[in-house]
Chains A and B, each alone.
Chain A
């Protein structure tokens, strides 16, 4: 079961803070992050990759679903 973070509509840098906190605290290997701008897709990807996670995303109805996997 993947953990999920809903960061839609939040200003910088809250999506990154929430993503970072989730990745540091979780024990699962998949975390889903929901954001609504490409800016946040890139920002959350950057913090995830720094912590050793891989990122992929897909867009559905103006929402970006970012899937982070522990390397």
Chain B
């Protein structure tokens, strides 16, 4: 019998990792990533969907190395600490749909929970509406969880199932590094924005290294922006939130140092001032992430440690990004109002239908 001891599982461990991630996020912006978007799991996944041609929004197409590097950093950490466990079978299609709606909600706000914190740290006060919405969405999710919501158990499976997502991420990383050209005219295999947020990027080598480091550290500490708020609402446990708090404060301080802090509601980068949609989009995202068990970053890290269901959620997010841009649901576009209501109704139906009495076996 062993006592569970691990520095990364301590309060100090997660606070230090929050500090490191906040520092790296602000620095990636300094190195060229879009403003208040040093890291955004939703935006970067959307950019990857664009690079692969799943949507045609010309300003947001770039195969961001950070997302594959997150997954591979977590994969390496899981291998190094014997935590790589291929598993699957917990309602993958429902997770795909939750990933889709989480992305649709996040892109109405224009950012995932990570970017919500980074927008706040950069002085974008519209993020306050987003974070309030995120908290409300997580609160509704907690109510479903308290009522017995579950997507069912996952089960151990063959190595190939757990290795598939890391393999896909290796391919994506190679594609963006090598940037292959096909045909005599040299047509690129990927779409790449010439202007807009998709054209703003830190050098690939730094994006990759930072992504690997964050993936490694986040896998060890289970860093989760949604889990931070969820655990406080559910049981007054501030463990994960202390990491998120450290992330926010460090990004804020470094934004001051780098002169990246511009307070206000108006004229913020990749943002809109329709308060209702900033709020409601993140209610939808927060609820969807909570029912699926974690924030978009956490889903990417889990996919790296062999969780195929989390991988399906990530693919759902990519599909959701394509749907959002193809059907004009992004930001405060007119269709966003309808979609956020439809999304909330569907995800609440999933929440109600997923309730079951989880028996405590004696």
Contacts and interface: CB of A to CB of B under 8 A. Distances in A.
Given A11-B151, A12-B294, A55-B4, A36 B156 contact: yes
Nearest to A61: B156
Nearest to B306: A37
A10 B154 CA distance: 7
A7 B336 CA distance: 38
A57 B153 contact: no
A61 B6 CA distance: 21
B90 interface: yes
Interface string B67-94: 0000000000000010101010110000
B156 A57 contact: no
Contact of B87 (A16, A36, A50, A55): A36
A9 B306 CA distance: 13
B360 A5 contact: yes
Interface stretch (B181-189, B231-239, B263-271, B280-288): B231-239
A62 B156 contact: yes
Contacts of B156: 36, 62
By Cβ-Cβ distance, the 4 closest A-B pairs, closest first, are A9-B153, A11-B293, A56-B1, A42-B9
B258 interface: no
Contact of B237 (A3, A9, A42, A50): A50
Nearest to B153: A9
A38 to B, nearest CB: 6
A9 B1 contact: no
Interface residues of A, number: 35
Interface of A: 3-6, 8-14, 16-18, 20-22, 36-39, 41-43, 45-47, 50, 55-58, 62, 66-67
A61 B4 CA distance: 18
Contacts of A55: 3-4
A5 B85 CA distance: 21
B16 interface: no
B361 A6 contact: yes
B361 A5 contact: yes
B230 interface: yes
A36 to B, nearest CB: 7
A47 B87 contact: no
Contacts of A18: 358, 360
B83 A38 contact: yes
Contacts of B119: none
A13 to B, nearest CB: 6
A9 B87 contact: yes
